[in-house]
Structure 1
Amino acid sequence: MASMCPFARAVSATEVCPKKIDESQSKHKKGAPEKSESASSVMPTGKCPFGYDSQTFKLGPLSCIICQALLFEASKCVPCSHKFCKHCISRFKDCPLCGADIEKIEPDSELQEMVDRFIEGHARIKRSHPSDAQAEGEQPKNVIYEDVSLERGSFLVQQAMRAFRAQNIESAKSRLSLCVEDIREQIQGVGNTSELCTQLGAVLGMLGDCSRALGDASSAVSYFEESVDFLSKLQVDDIEVMHTLSVSLNKIGDLKFYDGDLVAAKKYYAQALDVRRNAVKDQSKMPSQMLDVAVSLAKVADADRNLGNESLAIERFHEAIECLEHLTISPSEIGLEKRRLSVLQFVQGQLGENLDSVSAAASE
């Protein structure tokens, strides 16, 4: 199954320098005539004076080379004057660009204001809406400015994901918070569409991940619960909504589990399992959905085992194994097959541990 990310259709996975893309395409085109191609035939026309490209999300001077995301709390190294995110450069004693010793780090408010203006300006682009009459040349085209928060949303999520991977969590939270504001504004205008609602639930979940990474479990639970509350009210049998809802429920369960509240953990795991079972009942049984069901079965079983309910745990583990062993995955879906094998190995290991402990107890 395709990626469940609600921004997958809008965000490009390309993370390569445009120049390298140009070179690689010219080298590897099979059967293409040997002639030089202009950059415009390979890359989309640039629309931003700062070099922003909607296909690669490269930002040039407005990005930090350490986290490769938009600058957040832009700071300048002294004496070399190279610019980075405050959090990113604080981990270095010498400049990653030139190697000069860093005597001190100073905030660059002017550059940060430019970054903030860039983000704000990215919310609107010029668009034309030709009618049938306009297409025939009877009337001039009316050019208006229209909100395009879907593209802006994918842009902000892309920057947040980069920052999160680089452990610049505050930067990620900042971008995701802007994204939440954008989506809420869109929902007020057009209503609770499936796409916008899935996006809001997913971004709230990402904010929960940020809080969790910062060690703020209570805030993480609040974000996940907000995601669950919002998605639960939709009453839409949409597979992406149901997937996002189940993920948030599982994450609350994980936090409760690690906090030692096993009863609450099992409750949330069981709710996620119910959502995923409804998904495979109402929708076609796609491999990724069945794999989700197996994961939820394993989570519920693990909670049962820690609560001392061995018989229930073994029953759930067996059900998960049966689900995984009967799962047919296309050879082209290598990532999904690796995940299936990983989950199967975990479940078999958990089941083996239970059987071993029972046998040991019987022998004693």
Structure 2
Amino acid sequence: MTPVCPFTKASRPDDASSKKPGEHQNKQQASNENKPQQDSIVAPKCPLGYDSQTFKIGPLSCVICQALLFQCSKCVPCSHVYCKACISRFKDCPICGADIEKIEDDANLQGVVDRFIEGHARIKRSQVDTEQDEREDDKKTVIYEDVSLERGAFLMQQAMRALRANNIESAKSRLSMCTKDVREQLEKTGNTPELCSQLGAVLGMLGDCCRATGDASSAISYFEESVNFLMKIPNDDSEITHTLSVSLNKIGDLKYYEGDLQAARSYYSQGLDVRRNAMSHHSTVPTLVIDVATSLAKVADVDRNLGNEDAAIANFQEAVKLLESLSTSASDVGLENRRLSVLEFLNGQLGKK
């Protein structure tokens, strides 16, 4: 699954720009007829630079994974700090090059980081600009937008940085916080498509984290919950459809490796059905065709292992036919290479009959 931030398209639940023009005016200045009240909307800004739209390494970051510090550890004797999982791979300090004699927990700094994360993007307030010009009572009210969804994007960004650096526990921590936030929103608003899609994506990423650490049982639980939420959404969104089918296939993979072939086939078949349905609405999208062929190959492989050779051959042949009839853009080399790779595998499997 290609990790994406599920909050980028989300609208803010309490958008100040939708208020009526005079709703936020400062009542104390209502009598000032010569200089009318002027409101302006200001996007939330983190004072330390940790905004979801930027990619800055701030003062609370680990310079190795570039995410916020997690299990903060201090090198002795140089005192430079990193995430525990990150610095444990080094013998010399990446910043100064000093030999690392030992690594100590830095609970005080980690406490600062944790408090910062807990409070990040939770405040909504009005601020009066105290800057004065010719008239002493001339002030401008600044309305800060609700930033609850900004917090979700912020947490996802930190999790993505940690994942790229293989700091799995850090990523899980940030994703778990994000999951908690979305669940709280769901309790207030109900199962809206927007929130269900957000939660489904985050739960899928938590499943990936557990799978990376070998915790198959937890991974399956997260993927299954992801599927449950994504199933509540109309299946006309290609991104949601892709995430849903990928989660189903990943459960199938885990069941396959556990040796539960019947369960694996069930999940692979569900993933295939989701992709077939998507392709029926978007038959000219090459990636969907390749996805369907891949799902057919997974179902066929299980059928062969279950002794259903005729069914396996039929699915392999259908997948080959789809890929052979697929035309890709000459400029999209990656897509063509993927098509050829899957086609080579399928022909190899047909050669085994």
Indicate whether the TM-score tops 0.5: yes
1:108 matches 2:102: no
Equivalent of residue 122 in structure 1, options 95, 120, 127: 120
Secondary structure at the aligned position of 1:146 is classed as: coil
1:266 equivalent in structure 2:
265
Per the alignment, residue 21 of structure 1 pairs with none
> Which amino acid letter does the alignment assign opposite residue 103 of structure 1?
E
Q: Distance in 2 between matches of 1:192 and 1:279?
A: 23
- For residue 187 of structure 1, report the CA deviation from its aligned partner: 2.8
For residues 292-316 of structure 1, the C-alpha deviation after alignment (integer angstroms, 9 at most, x for no partner) is 1111111111111222222211111
CA distance in 2, matches of 1:319, 1:335: 23
Residue 147 (str. 1) matches residue 147 (str. 2): yes
Amino acid at match of 2:82: F
The one-letter code sitting in structure 2 at the alignment partner of 1:109 is: A
Q: CA RMSD in A?
A: 2.7
Query: Could you tell me how far apart the structure 1 residues matched to 2:186 and 2:332 are?
Result: 35
- Which residue number in structure 2 is paired with residue 16 of structure 1? none
State TM-score, norm by structure 1: 0.76
State the partner residue of 1:306: 305
Q: Does 1:289 align with 2:297?
A: no
Which structure is higher in RCO with an 8 Å CA cutoff and minimum separation 6?
A: 2
Question: Residues 322, 5 of structure 1: CA spacing in aligned structure 2 closer, same or farther, 3 A cutoff?
Answer: farther
CA distance in 2, matches of 1:263, 1:88: 40
1:184: how far off? 1.8
What amino acid sits opposite 2:110 in the alignment?
Q
Q: Deviations over 1:52-88 (max 9, x none)?
A: 3544322322111222211101111111000000111
| % identical aligned pairs | 68
Q: Distance in 2 between matches of 1:147 and 1:51?
A: 15
Instruction: Tell me which protein shows more helix as a share of its residues.
Output: 1
Is 1:184 the equivalent of 2:183? yes
Farther off after superposition, 321-330 or 254-263: 321-330
Measure, in 1, the Cα distance between the counterparts of 2:125 and 2:58.
25
Distance across 2 between alignment mates of 1:63 and 1:4:
21
Report whether the alignment pairs 1:52 with 2:17: no
Provide, for residues 96-124 of structure 1, a one-character-per-residue CA deviation record: whole Å limited to 9, x for no partner.
22221212211122222222233233323
Q: Are the structure 2 counterparts of residues 87 and 303 from structure 1 closer, same or farther at C-alpha, using a change threshold of 3 Å?
A: same
Name the CA shift for 1:145/1:10 in 2 (closer, same or farther; >3 Å): closer
Report the Cα offset of residue 126 of structure 1.
5.6
Deviation at 1:8, TM superposition (A): 8.1
Indicate if the aligned counterparts of 1:67 and 1:168 stay in contact, CA closer than 8 A: yes
In 2, the alpha carbon distance for the partners of 1:351 and 1:141 equals 71
Q: 1:216 to 1:347 in 2, by over 3 A?
A: same
Determine the C-alpha separation between the residues in 1 that align with 2:120 and 2:341. 41
Higher deviation after alignment, 104-113 or 48-57? 48-57
User: Which ranges in structure 2 are unaligned for 5 or more consecutive residues?
Assistant: 11-42, 127-139
Distance across 2 between alignment mates of 1:283 and 1:324: 16
Change (3 A) 1:155 1:325: farther
Partner residue, 2:131? none
CA distance in 2, matches of 1:230, 1:108: 39
Structure 1 counterpart of 2:249 = 250
Q: Distance in 2 between matches of 1:108 and 1:218?
A: 32
Contact kept? 2:158, 2:174, Cα under 8 Å: yes
C-alpha distance in structure 2 between counterparts of 1:108 and 1:10, whole Å? 37
Work out the CA distance in 1 between the residues paired with 2:220 and 2:179: 17
Number of positions where the alignment pairs a residue of Structure 1 with one of Structure 2? 308
Asked whether the equivalents of residues 44 and 121 of structure 2 are also in contact (C-alpha less than 8 Å), the reply is no
Q: Distance in 1 between matches of 2:46 and 2:153?
A: 17
**Deviations 1:128-168 (CA, angstroms, capped at 9, x unpaired):** 8xxxxxxxxxxx7672551332x332332222222223221
Segments of 5+ residues of structure 1 without an aligned counterpart are: 12-44, 129-139, 356-364
SS in 2 for 1:58: coil
Matching of residues 324-339 of structure 1 within 5 Å:
324-339=323-338
1:283 positional shift: 4.3
TM-score by length of 2: 0.78
2:146 match: secondary structure: strand
Residue 105 of structure 1 aligns to a residue whose secondary structure is strand
AA in 1 matched with 2:160: M
